[in-house]
């Protein structure tokens, strides 16, 4: 049906695979550059002097009193009516 020379098709696929490999290598290089840049920014002590946090003693968190309101379980106990006339007892 189609009468293409196979050498041209092989050359085209080789050029395409070489272009894809070059693109993959460029993406890997760019990713490594971004990783190095971001890690340099995040690991810089001058930019983040308190990145490990400040102890509570420094900002007075230990001096603040907080009442923790805990969730109580449902503990309703019904009140029994006492001394009613004609009250039947089950015991």
On whether the pTM is more than 0.85, the answer is no
Name the burial class of residue 66, with classes exposed (0-12), middle (13-18) and buried (19+) by CB atoms within 10 angstroms of its CB.
exposed
Residue 83 lies in a domain: no
Report how far residue 31's alpha carbon sits from residue 39's, in angstroms, rounded to the nearest whole number. Answer: 12
- For residue 41, what are the domain limits? 11-45
Stronger pLDDT, 16 or 69, i.e. the higher one? 16
The number of domains in the chain is: 1
Q: Are 18 and 10 in contact (CB under 8 A)?
A: no
Residue 26 lies in a domain: yes
Residue 87 lies in a domain: no
Structure tokens at 28: 């890997």
Q: What is the pLDDT of residues 50-88, one digit of tens each?
A: 777 766 666 665 566 666 777 777 778 888 777 766 656
Q: What is the pLDDT of residues 17-30, one digit of tens each?
A: 999 999 999 999 99
- Cβ partners under 8 Å of residue 41, min gap 6: 47
């Amino acid at each position: 049906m189609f009468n293409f020379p196979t050498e041209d098709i092989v050359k085209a696929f080789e050029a395409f695979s070489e272009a894809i490999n070059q693109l993959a290598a460029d993406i890997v290089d760019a990713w490594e550059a971004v990783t190095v840049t971001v890690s340099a920014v995040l690991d810089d002590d001058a930019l983040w002097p308190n990145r490990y946090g400040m102890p509570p003693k420094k900002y007075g968190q230990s001096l603040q009193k907080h009442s923790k309101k805990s969730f109580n379980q449902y503990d309703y106990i019904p009140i029994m009516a006492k001394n009613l006339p004609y009250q039947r007892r089950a015991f």
